[in-house]
Structure 1
Amino acid sequence: MVTSRTRATSGALVSRLALIVGVVFLVVGIAGFIPGLTSNYDQMTFAGHHSDALLLGVFQVSVLHNIVHLLFGIAGIAMARRVDTARLYLIGGGAIYLLLWLYGLIINESSGANFLPINNADDWLHFVLGLGMIGLGLLASRRADTARQ
């Protein structure tokens, strides 16, 4: 027989994972505004593919891109408070990142459609983030469901 303590622990895992992911996005959003962590900082634009700023010298960022990371991080921290919203954040956020990955593969990086901006490194990071977030959400949900039985 599974106790309510086991259910609470399993539910807490989903919340903890969403909180961790949210904090990571928040840190990444802040890092995008720190010269040194972001090379070519003086060439950062608000939006668009003309921004030459590179987070960690690899990932193309702009002010808008950094704001999106900050907002995504805040959403994760806020949604981590409840099991159902934490699960939604991980699985739904992962789906958004997979769509962003596809979008990055389809658009021309030097076109106006690349408004965030994103480069090839961003595309593949979005793919890994999408799969990872969905995997965490499903795995933690499965543990919570197993604990309920």
Structure 2
Amino acid sequence: MATSHPRARRRRPQVGLLAVQWAAILVGSLFLIVGVLGFVPGVTSNLDALAMSGTGSRAALFDVFQVSILDNLVHLAVGVVGLVLATSFARARAYLGVGGLLYLGLWVYGLLIDLAGPANVLPINDADNWLHFGVGVTMVLLALTLAGTRVPTGAGGEVLVPPE
């Protein structure tokens, strides 16, 4: 009969990422893709009119969403942050929740400013504005609904790793 040594460490079963972490990876990856596509000719129309920032940029992603170099860099940064913060439950949830609130704030900002004025530094058009609303709501909902538990469960709801 083999007995374990009292100082032997118990190995926890390997468990994959939690749903909220996968959501952060997905959202971060989408932001990275959008950031890169903002520099791709054909996907972004009027790429030769891409400006650093502001309404002077006449480039449009998918011929709909007005973009600038600053806008594309922000998308790339938000994507990288999402991938980095997906490494833990708490960080992934914070990324989705805080990021969603920031995008909802950007939506309100877009509603309040003159889209043709100097305050529009990203730049934002009506399509961008409503996309920010959708992204913000989606990220907040993902943070709230996917982060209900830190305990991984199987398809039948059985606990895969007992809480400590």
Give the TM-score, by structure 2 length.
0.82
Q: After TM superposition, give the deviation of residue 143 of structure 1 in Å.
A: 4.6
Cα distance per residue 1:84-128 (max 9 Å; x no partner): 000000010000000000000000011110000010000000000
Q: 1:105 aligns with which of 108, 111, 125?
A: 111
Counterpart residue number, 1:129: 135
Higher Cα radius of gyration: 2
Secondary structure of 2:148 counterpart: helix
Q: 1:67 aligns with which of 73, 80, 90?
A: 73
Q: Percent identity?
A: 44
1:31 is the counterpart of 2:37:
yes
Counterparts of 1:56 and 1:146, CA distance in 2:
39
Which is bigger in relative contact order (C-alpha 8 A, separation at least 6)? 1
Q: 1:46 aligns with which of 38, 41, 52?
A: 52
Q: Any unmatched runs of 5+ in structure 2?
A: 1-11, 154-162
1:81 is the counterpart of 2:87:
yes
Q: 1:139 aligns with which of 127, 137, 145?
A: 145
Q: Any unmatched runs of 5+ in structure 1?
A: none
Indicate the RMSD between aligned Cα atoms, in angstroms. Answer: 1.7
Number of equivalent positions: 142
1:94 is the counterpart of 2:100:
yes
Cα distance per residue 1:38-76 (max 9 Å; x no partner): 001111100011111000000000000000000000000
